Structure 1
Amino acid sequence: MKNIFCLLLLCYGQLHAQRDSTLTLQACQQQAREHFPYLQQQQIIESITALQLKNTRNSYLPQLELNAQATYQSEVTRIPIELPNFTFGLIPKDQYRATIDVKQLIYDGGTNKQTQKVQQAQQLVEQQKLELNQLQVKQQVTQTYFNALLWSEHIQASEQLVAEMKQRIEKMSVGVQNGAILESNVDLLKAELLKSEQQLFEANTGKSTAIKILRLLTGMEISEGVRLEKPSPQVSEDLVVNNRPEMRLFSLQTEALQVQDKLTATRNMPKLSAFFQGGVGRPGLNMLDNEFKMFYFTGLRLNWNFWNWHAQRNDRQVIALQEKNVQKQTETFELTTRSQLLQQQAEINNYAAAIQRDASIVSLRTKVKNVSANQLDNGAITVHDYLTDLYNETQAKIQYKTHEIQWIYAQINYQITKGN
Structure 2
Amino acid sequence: MITVTAVIISLISVSVAGSAQPDSISLEYCYRLADERYPTAKNIELQKKITELNVDIAHTGYFPDVTVNGQATYQSEVTEIGLPGGGGPPSVSQDQYEASVDVTQTIFNGGAAGIRKEVEQAKGRQHMYATKVELHRIRSQIDQVYFGILLSRQQAKTIGLLIDNLREQHSTVRSQVENGVLLPSQQHILKAELIAARQDSADNESNIRAGYRVLSQIIGEEIDRDTRLELPEVSSDYPALHPQRAELDLFESRRESLEKQKALVRTKRMPSLAAFGTAAYGRPGLNFLNDDFHDYYIAGLKVRWNVWDFFNADRQHQVLQIEQQKIDQEQRAFRRQLDASLDRISERIASIKENMKRDRKIIELRAQVVEESASQLKNGVITATEYVTELTRSNQARLLLYINRVRLSQAKSEYLTTLGIGLQEQVN
TM-score, normalised via structure 1 length: 0.90
Query: Does the 8 A contact of 2:81 with 2:88 survive in 1?
Result: no
Compare 302-311 and 240-249 and name the one that shifted more.
Answer: 302-311
In 1, the alpha carbon distance for the partners of 2:27 and 2:319 equals 46
Q: Mapping of 1:234-253 within 5 angstroms?
A: 234-238=235-239, 242-253=243-254
Deviation for aligned residue 1:300: 2.6
Residue identity (%)? 29
Structure 1, unmatched stretches of 5+, are: none
Structure 2, unmatched stretches of 5+, are: 422-428
Which one-letter code corresponds to 1:33 in the other structure? D
Deviation for aligned residue 1:55: 1.7
Q: 1:32 to 1:363 in 2, by over 3 A?
A: same
In 2, the alpha carbon distance for the partners of 1:65 and 1:249 equals 41
SS of the equivalent of 1:175 reads helix
In 1, the alpha carbon distance for the partners of 2:136 and 2:180 equals 65
Structure 2 residue corresponding to 1:34, chosen from 36, 61, 71: 36
Query: Does the 8 A contact of 1:22 with 1:228 survive in 2?
Result: yes
Deviation for aligned residue 1:151: 0.2
In 2, the alpha carbon distance for the partners of 1:338 and 1:247 equals 13
Compare 35-44 and 126-135 and name the one that shifted more.
Answer: 35-44
Q: Is residue 2:159 matched to residue 1:158? A: yes
Query: Does the 8 A contact of 1:279 with 1:294 survive in 2?
Result: yes
Deviation for aligned residue 1:293: 2.5
Q: Which residue of 1 aligns with 2:118?
A: 117
Which one-letter code corresponds to 2:247 in the other structure? E
Query: Does the 8 A contact of 1:29 with 1:142 survive in 2?
Result: no
Q: Which residue of 2 aligns with 1:53?
A: 55
Compare 354-363 and 239-248 and name the one that shifted more.
Answer: 239-248
Equivalent residues, number = 409
Measured against aligned partners, the alpha-carbon deviations of 1:110-160 in whole angstroms (never above 9, x if no partner) come to 001100000111111000001111101111001111000100111000000
Which one-letter code corresponds to 1:112 in the other structure? A
Which 4+ stretches in 1 moved above 4 angstroms? none
Query: Does the 8 A contact of 2:82 with 2:88 survive in 1?
Result: no
SS of the equivalent of 1:310 reads helix
Measured against aligned partners, the alpha-carbon deviations of 1:48-70 in whole angstroms (never above 9, x if no partner) come to 11111112222323433211123
Query: Does the 8 A contact of 2:268 with 2:309 survive in 1?
Result: no
Q: Which residue of 2 aligns with 1:192?
A: 193
Q: Which residue of 2 aligns with 1:66?
A: 68
SS of the equivalent of 1:66 reads strand
Q: Which residue of 2 aligns with 1:130?
A: 131
Q: Mapping of 1:66-105 within 5 angstroms?
A: 66-79=68-81, 81-82=83-84, 86-105=87-106
Q: Which residue of 2 aligns with 1:170?
A: 171
Q: Is residue 2:322 matched to residue 1:314? A: no
Which one-letter code corresponds to 2:67 in the other structure? E
Query: Does the 8 A contact of 1:239 with 1:338 survive in 2?
Result: no
Query: Does the 8 A contact of 1:351 with 1:406 survive in 2?
Result: yes
TM-score, normalised via structure 2 length: 0.89
Measured against aligned partners, the alpha-carbon deviations of 1:369-394 in whole angstroms (never above 9, x if no partner) come to 11110100111001111011111111
SS of the equivalent of 2:309 reads coil
Q: Is residue 2:136 matched to residue 1:142? A: no
In 1, the alpha carbon distance for the partners of 2:317 and 2:77 equals 50
Q: Is residue 2:228 matched to residue 1:211? A: no
Query: Does the 8 A contact of 1:376 with 1:386 survive in 2?
Result: yes
Q: Which residue of 1 aligns with 2:45?
A: 43
SS of the equivalent of 1:217 reads helix
